């Protein structure tokens, strides 16, 4: 996989919550939902981001460190360097889907929901976070016609608890053709186990420490302890980030 950096200009940024912004660029990118890009700022660093929109290119950036803080400081007209699209995305199956996102794992699910609805699918979106203030894109999913269920650990929005509990309740009550999810490792591990229990296909977008973004350094290997179905040496950037089972 070969890709070179190209420059984009920031068109606008929108504050989504106390530490998250939506960044819209001035050009499009031919990408599948679930793929990612490497973003670079000279003198600051390089980090991976899920593609939250491709026409135009959009990223969801959470303020978690020096690089994301630098992006938060960018203004319309400023330059950002992008490499991508990289990795393998989601592949929709059947007529009914659950999309489960934990925290900023909602980002790649947004373009996936739009694609699924355009294909006439029934889309159930389950979003989880620590609190109501940490939930992302809730209104956006509802406005395009998704069925939305929320879970917060502190009970400030939706059901009290983890998003995995919400997903299991839906699996018990509805016909679902596949589960698509992105979020923290613990959440994805639990969902993989849940999917096997109920014997239905799943596609999980794994988060890992990505340095090169092209499978060269091996830093983003996801261990089989996360999901025994993963092949040995599976790299989130090159083999994924989406793992499909079966």
Ordered structural domains, the chain, with CATH = 6-86 (2.40.30.10), 96-245 (3.40.50.80)
Q: Distance between the two ends of the chain, CA-based, in angstroms?
A: 24
Confidence at 217, pLDDT banded by 50, 70, 90: confident
Confidence at 211, pLDDT banded by 50, 70, 90: confident
What value does the mean pLDDT take over residues 147-163? 97
Can you tell me the distance from the alpha carbon of 61 to that of 48, in angstroms, rounded to the nearest whole number? 10
Mean pLDDT of the chain: 95
Can you tell me the distance from the alpha carbon of 174 to that of 126, in angstroms, rounded to the nearest whole number? 14
* pLDDT for position 227: 96
Can you tell me the distance from the alpha carbon of 224 to that of 25, in angstroms, rounded to the nearest whole number? 37
What value does the mean pLDDT take over residues 192-219? 89
Query: Which residue is it, tokens 């699924």?
Result: 116
Query: Which residue is it, tokens 């983890």?
Result: 162
Q: Using CB atoms within 10 A of its CB, is residue 14 exposed (0-12), middle (13-18) or buried (19+)?
A: exposed
* pLDDT for position 91: 97
* pLDDT for position 43: 96
Distances (CA, A) of 69 to 41, 60, 62: 11, 13, 8
Query: How is 39-93 classified by DSSP, letter by letter?
Result: EEETTTEEEEEE-SEETTEEEEEE--SHHHHHHHT--TT-EEEEEEEESB-----
C-beta neighbour count of 175 within 10 angstroms: 10
pLDDT at 2 over 70: no
Can you tell me the distance from the alpha carbon of 54 to that of 149, in angstroms, rounded to the nearest whole number? 25
pLDDT at 4 over 90: no
Over residues 100-145, the pLDDT tens digits come to: 999 999 999 999 999 999 999 999 999 999 999 999 999 999 999 9
pTM: predicted TM-score of the whole model, two decimal places: 0.95
pLDDT at 209 over 90: no
* pLDDT for position 1: 46
Q: What's the token pair of residue 203? A: 């596609």
**Using N-to-C axis directions, what is the helix angle for 163-173 and 185-198, rounded to 10°?**
20
* pLDDT for position 207: 85
What value does the mean pLDDT take over residues 43-56? 96
What value does the mean pLDDT take over residues 151-157? 97
Above pLDDT 90, what percent of the chain? Answer: 90
Higher pLDDT, 3 or 90: 90
What value does the mean pLDDT take over residues 177-202? 95
pLDDT at 193 over 70: yes
- How many Cα atoms sit within 13 Å of 211 on the Cβ side? 6
């Amino acid at each position: 996989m070969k890709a070179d950096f190209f420059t984009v200009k920031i068109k606008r940024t929108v504050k989504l919550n106390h530490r998250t912004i939506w960044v819209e660029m001035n050009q499009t990118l031919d990408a599948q939902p679930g793929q990612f890009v490497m973003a670079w700022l000279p003198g600051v660093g390089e980090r991976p981001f899920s593609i939250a929109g491709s026409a135009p290119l959009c990223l969801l950036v959470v303020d978690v460190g020096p690089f994301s803080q630098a992006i938060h400081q960018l203004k319309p007209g400023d330059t950002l360097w992008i490499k991508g699209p990289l990795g393998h995305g989601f592949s929709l199956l059947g007529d009914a889907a659950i999309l489960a996102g934990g925290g900023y794992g909602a980002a790649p699910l947004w373009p996936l929901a739009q694609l699924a609805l355009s294909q006439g699918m029934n889309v159930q979106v389950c979003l989880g976070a620590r609190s109501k203030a940490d939930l992302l894109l809730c209104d956006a999913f509802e406005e395009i016609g998704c069925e939305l269920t929320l879970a917060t650990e502190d009970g400030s929005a939706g059901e009290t608890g983890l998003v995995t509990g919400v997903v299991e309740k839906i699996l018990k009550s509805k016909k679902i053709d596949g589960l698509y999810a992105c979020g923290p490792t613990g959440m994805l591990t639990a969902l993989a186990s849940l999917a096997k229990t109920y014997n239905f296909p799943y596609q999980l977008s794994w988060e890992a420490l990505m340095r090169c973004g092209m499978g060269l350094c091996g830093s983003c290997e996801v261990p089989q302890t996360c999901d025994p179905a993963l092949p040995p040496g599976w790299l989130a950037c090159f083999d994924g980030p989406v793992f499909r089972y079966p």
